[in-house]
């Protein structure tokens, strides 16, 4: 199916991507839960190491279960090949360490997952890699931040947790003119709703802990490359750094991907209803959701997304205290970090995911103290609304 010349729809792709032919004819790829693979002889082992023969040596280097999942994500994103990683952060650090050298420069969206910003500001800086953080939805800011040393433009869109949305086709033009690689964190949308490579990005990555797996039971990441040269270079670096996914987690993610098309539709439909409900609520100051006409980058979102996705952020009129009161009052929505699973999660970035950034960097990125983030699950939306209704009474 995967190699078939017949063009199939995105939901069909989610079900069939990456599935090959296996011994005994299973419809699901077997889990090769092994760290190593036997050689037929020293000649055979030598030929594998020299790349003269195709085959498996050691799971950190290659594993058939991991490869099946990687092929699925590469196919959904429209990429060449992908690299399964132990977490989203392993994917991000592998990309940075593969692309950047001392003396070089990275431009990054201000509204990114907290540890991504912290990694750039406190770890890459140790290797004399300089950085500039910009509101990347403002293309002039993005263009003006580029220097002759810029090698990477790193964009998370929609950004965590503000949902600030960057026009990727325009960002790709800026990167191309600067001879820099455009790297996009596509975690919030998944390839069902947004495909950055088609818009001109060079590299896409995900925390697969979120929508791709979708069931809140795996921590994993992935890097999708556009060409053989980049893939081969990244594979070598990942093999040295060692942050690879394991076969069982790869199997679980691959299983999760089968329902990705259905899940993203349901997340988007329910989130749209919730965003409208929240926007009309008298305790809510504002709502950020790409499907609302009030969304600051509504036109870009309409152009770039197949549907608005499952993430909402909103600010309560009562600020920090109200935020705390709502979160301590929810009964159906669960107070937890992470996102993109089938269950609805609610969290407070200033005290949780973006705590490590510090107040000043948070405020500059638009992450106000009263901001609440909602990851809308696939439950009956009436149950989520009823829970927020009773919790908002306490705000
Ligand atoms: N990129 C984005 C957009 C994320 O939201 C996260 C994690 C990561 C990368 C890192 O992925 P991980 O290593 O955790 O697989 N986001 C989280 C969040 O918002 N709450 O808890 C984790």
Q: Are 131 and 241 in contact (CB under 8 A)?
A: no
Q: Is position 60 annotated as part of the catalytic site?
A: yes
Distance (angstroms) between ligand 1 centre and the Cα of 51 equals 35
Buried b (16+ CB within 10 A) or exposed e, 372-391: bbbbbbbbebeebeebbeeb
Nearest C-alpha to atom 17 of ligand 1 is from which residue?
338
Q: Which of 88, 189, 310 to mutate to test the pocket of ligand 1 (most atoms within 8 A of CB)?
A: 88
Q: How far apart are CA 131 and CA 64, in angstroms?
A: 38
Residue nearest to atom 14 of ligand 1 (CA): 88
Q: What is the pLDDT of residue 5?
A: 58
CA dihedral 124→109→348→360, nearest 10 degrees, is 70
CB-count burial class (<10 Å; 0-12, 13-18, 19+) for 209: buried
Give all strands (DSSP E) within 198-275, no chain letters: 203-207, 221-225
Ligand 1 center to residue 327 CA distance, Å? 20
Q: Please name every residue paired with 206 in a beta bridge, in sequence order, or none if there are none.
A: 222
The Cα 116–Cα 228 span in angstroms is 26
Measured in Å, residue 4 CA sits from the centre of ligand 1 at 34
Please spell the DSSP secondary structure of 149-189, one letter per residue: TEEEEEEESSPTTT-----HHHHHHHHHHHT-EEEEE-TTT
* Residue to mutate, 206, 210, 252, 348, ligand 1, most ligand atoms under 8 Å from C-beta: 210
Helices (H) and strands (E) in the chain, counts: 15, 12
Return the closest-CA partner of residue 152 out of 128, 173, 178, 114: 178
C-beta of residue 106 within 8 angstroms of C-beta of residue 100: yes
Query: What tokens were used for 89?
Result: 């952060």
Question: Which member of 13, 62, 210, 258 is catalytic?
Answer: 210
340 vs 187: CA distance, rounded Å: 9
Among protein residues, the one whose CA lies closest to atom 22 of ligand 1: 338
Could you tell me the distance, in angstroms and rounded to a whole number, from the CA of residue 207 to the centre of ligand 1?
A: 6
C-beta 209 within 6 A of ligand 1? yes
Ligand 1 site, residue 355, Cβ cutoff 6 A: no
Interstrand relation of 311-316 and 371-375 (parallel, antiparallel or unpaired): antiparallel
**Ligand 1 atom having least distance to the Cα of 353:** 20
Q: Is 348 helix (H, G, I), strand (E, B) or coil?
A: coil
Q: What angle do the packed helices 228-241 and 88-99 form, to 10 degrees?
A: 110
Q: What is the DSSP letter of 288?
A: E
Q: How far is the CA of 5 from the centre of ligand 1 (A)?
A: 35
pLDDT at 225: 98
The CA distance from 268 to 282, in Å, is 23
Residue linked to tokens 């594993």: 63
- C-beta of 88 in contact with ligand 1 (< 6 A): yes
Domains delineated in the chain: 10-257 (3.40.640.10), 260-392 (3.90.1150.10)
Q: Tell me the C-alpha distance between 395 and 385, whole Å.
A: 15
- Res 2: pLDDT: 46
Residue closest to 326 by CA, chosen among 263, 389, 272: 389
Angle, helices 381-392 vs 319-329, to 10°: value is: 130
Asked if residue 78 lies in contact with residue 197, where contact means CB atoms within 8 angstroms, the answer is yes
* Cβ(130)–Cβ(104) below 8 Å: yes
**210 in active site:** yes
Task: Compute the distance between CA of residue 280 and CA of residue 282 in angstroms, rounded to an integer.
Answer: 6
Tell me, what's the pLDDT at 3? 47
- pTM of the predicted model as reported, rounded to 2 decimal places: 0.97
Dihedral Cα 345, 349, 355, 359, nearest 10 deg: -170
Q: Is 152 exposed, middle or buried (0-12, 13-18, 19+ CB in 10 A)?
A: buried
Per-residue pLDDT of the chain in tens (395 residues, 90 and over written 9): 444 557 899 999 999 999 999 999 999 999 999 999 999 999 999 999 999 999 999 999 999 999 999 999 999 999 999 999 999 999 999 999 999 999 999 999 999 999 999 999 999 999 999 999 999 999 999 999 999 999 999 999 999 999 999 999 999 999 999 999 999 999 999 999 999 999 999 999 999 999 999 999 999 999 999 999 999 999 999 999 999 999 999 999 999 999 999 999 999 999 999 999 999 999 999 999 999 999 999 999 999 999 999 999 999 998 888 888 998 999 999 999 999 999 999 998 877 777 877 888 888 878 888 899 999 999 999 999 999 999 999 98
Q: What is the phi-psi region of residue 87: left when phi exceeds 0, alpha when psi lies from -120 to 50, beta otherwise?
A: beta
Spatial distance between the Cα atoms of 290 and 31, rounded to a whole number of angstroms:
38
Catalytic residue among 13, 62, 113, 258: 113
Distance in Å, CA 113 to ligand 1 centroid: 6
């Amino acid at each position: 199916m995967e190699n078939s010349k017949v063009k199939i729809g995105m939901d069909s792709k989610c079900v069939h991507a990456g599935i090959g032919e296996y011994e005994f004819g299973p419809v699901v790829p077997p889990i090769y839960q092994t760290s190593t693979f036997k050689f037929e002889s020293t000649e055979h082992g030598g030929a594998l190491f020299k790349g003269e023969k195709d085959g498996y040596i050691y799971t950190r280097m290659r594993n058939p279960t991991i490869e099946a999942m990687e092929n699925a994500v590469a196919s959904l994103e429209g990429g060449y090949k992908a690299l399964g990683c132990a977490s989203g952060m392993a994917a991000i650090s592998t990309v940075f360490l593969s692309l950047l050298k001392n003396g070089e420069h990275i431009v990054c969206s201000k509204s990114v997952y907290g540890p991504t910003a912290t990694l750039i500001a406190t770890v890459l800086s140790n290797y004399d890699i300089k950085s500039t953080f910009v509101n990347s939805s403002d293309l002039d800011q993005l263009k003006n931040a580029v220097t002759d040393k810029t090698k990477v433009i790193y964009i998370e869109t929609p950004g965590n947790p503000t949902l600030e949305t960057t026009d990727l086709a325009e960002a790709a033009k800026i990167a191309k003119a600067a001879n820099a690689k455009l790297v996009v964190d596509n975690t919030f949308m998944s390839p069902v709703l947004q495909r950055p490579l088609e818009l001109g990005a060079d590299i896409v990555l995900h925390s697969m802990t979120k929508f791709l797996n979708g069931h809140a039971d795996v921590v994993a990441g992935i890097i999708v490359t556009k060409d053989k040269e980049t893939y081969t270079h990244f594979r070598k670096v990942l093999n040295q750094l060692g942050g690879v996914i394991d076969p069982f987690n790869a199997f679980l993610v691959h299983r999760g991907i089968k329902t990705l098309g259905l899940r993203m539709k349901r997340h988007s439909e329910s989130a749209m209803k919730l965003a409208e409900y929240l926007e009309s609520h008298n305790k809510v100051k504002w709502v950020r959701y790409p499907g609302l006409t009030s969304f600051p980058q509504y036109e870009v979102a309409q152009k770039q997304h197949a549907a608005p996705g499952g993430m909402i952020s909103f600010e309560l009129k009562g600020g920090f205290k109200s935020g705390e009161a709502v979160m301590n009052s929810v009964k159906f929505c669960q107070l937890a970090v992470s996102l993109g699973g089938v269950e609805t999660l609610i969290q407070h970035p200033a005290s949780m995911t973006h705590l490590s950034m510090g107040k000043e960097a948070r405020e500059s990125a638009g992450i106000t103290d009263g901001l609440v983030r909602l990851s809308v699950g696939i439950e009956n939306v009436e149950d989520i609304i009823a829970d927020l209704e009773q919790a908002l009474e306490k705000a």
